[in-house]
Structure 1
């Protein structure tokens, strides 16, 4: 168990580091969603094979040869800060994380990948429950707690998911960003975080707070907590690496392309939750 006596100083420093490593796709970096009917106008495309990008609400088909956007309505007050960070991230992705991700996927069997995903999904179920409670959704809160108990015991620390397979209790992920949105908080400004990539001020704040509140902080010691969460972020990023690589090579302005892609997905996601 952790010694909480030194948390006020070392804990906050560690959490700031985690905010740069956690979920390399969790709150951003991967091209998560795209809206075909958005106000942005595609300036050039060819007949190359489309790519399928997975998201939390299904799959989207996008043309990898779309090379430019003419942004029409997106306000980007932090662009002068975001662009240098985006350029730094792009170099790290292309020369370090993407090659590492390709090697990781080759040596990691799919069943093992799924087990790791199950583990990290399970460890955040208490956070899901708290957010569902804050949103006055008692049914989902109870489901999240039930999933955590079942998968942590019968599912061997969450590496397996009997809650879904045996009891038909599906996962309903909910973040602090979702809770803030439910109370009317806007996403704020588009924000590029070091290593994390595309985000916004609301979800960036959510990522940092939830890294502090993660159950891993209570069951592991430093620096193991940092290593585990960094690995979880890399594991999430790995399946998206090839998609990022393909899209970035086909974009005239990578920054605008991934900014629009992220914001389009964010707006569609918010519309979906309101329906």
Structure 2
């Protein structure tokens, strides 16, 4: 059954595997411009204000809490990828930080040897052999691929926040997560080289390849070993 599922998923993505994997480039470029406008008008000012008024220790506590919630999804994806040691380590990490770490505000688990991992269902699909499909620039969210966009659905159901029935709390957590993430990337816009659209796309694919292979990415420099 699992092999049939993987076959169907692969067949779904394969028609889009053209040379540059970007059949939606025209609309993607328009979406990028819209995202930049929204970022300049809303996200950057709010993130800058958040960064200015929030003490570093409070900002770290907020980041730790959000990261702690994420560990449940990370653990399940590690297990789905067959990395059981990492998966059970993530569960232990979540348990320790949720209790001794005061709901994850303090990261005690790392000091105890339970390192933070970064996994999502998009990476799980990659490990299962599902190709990334075409590049997609999501409105308000940024770069993605067809595979990673579809993977957002199970990731949402794997998050403990789905158990929260109070909608204002859910939206507040998501908003805080977005602002905290944007605040940590303030100033990175200046590193863009050449065509911004192509730069972002290449950076996205390279980063996802790095994450999916747990940092074990083959480079082209091996071809020069004999010279």
TM-score, length-scaled by structure 2: 0.80
Matches of 2:145 and 2:47, distance apart in 1 = 25
**Structure-2 change in CA distance of 1:98 and 1:197 (3 Å):** same
Q: Mind listing any 5+ residue stretches in structure 1 that lack a counterpart?
A: 1-72
Shift of 1:232: 0.7
2:85 — aligned with what?
A: 139
RMSD: 2.0
Matches of 2:90 and 2:124, distance apart in 1 = 15
1:93 — aligned with what?
A: 39
Q: Which has the higher helix share?
A: 2
| Residues 161-214 of structure 1 deviation map (CA, whole Å, 9 limit, x = unaligned) | 11112x121111211111111111111111111111111111222223312331
* Residue 183 of structure 2 corresponds to residue 241 of structure 1: no
Matches of 1:227 and 1:273, distance apart in 2 = 36
**Structure-2 change in CA distance of 1:241 and 1:204 (3 Å):** farther
Matches of 1:87 and 1:171, distance apart in 2 = 34
Structure scoring higher RCO (CA < 8 A, sep ≥ 6) equals 1
1:199 — aligned with what?
A: 144
Q: Which has the higher strand share?
A: 1
Matches of 2:212 and 2:77, distance apart in 1 = 16
- Residue from 169, 173, 188 that aligns with 1:228: 173
* Residue 65 of structure 2 corresponds to residue 123 of structure 1: no
1:177 — aligned with what?
A: 122
Shift of 1:261: 2.4
Shift of 1:155: 0.4
Contact 1:176/1:206 (8 A) holds in 2: yes
1:255 — aligned with what?
A: 197
Secondary structure in 2 aligned to 1:124? helix
| Residues 109-161 of structure 1 deviation map (CA, whole Å, 9 limit, x = unaligned) | 11111111110111121111111111121111111110111100000001111
**Matched pairs, number:** 199
TM-score, length-scaled by structure 1: 0.67
Matches of 1:162 and 1:252, distance apart in 2 = 42
Q: Mind listing any 5+ residue stretches in structure 2 that lack a counterpart?
A: 1-18, 219-227
Secondary structure in 2 aligned to 1:192? strand
Contact 1:129/1:144 (8 A) holds in 2: yes
Contact 1:98/1:242 (8 A) holds in 2: no
Secondary structure in 1 aligned to 2:123? helix
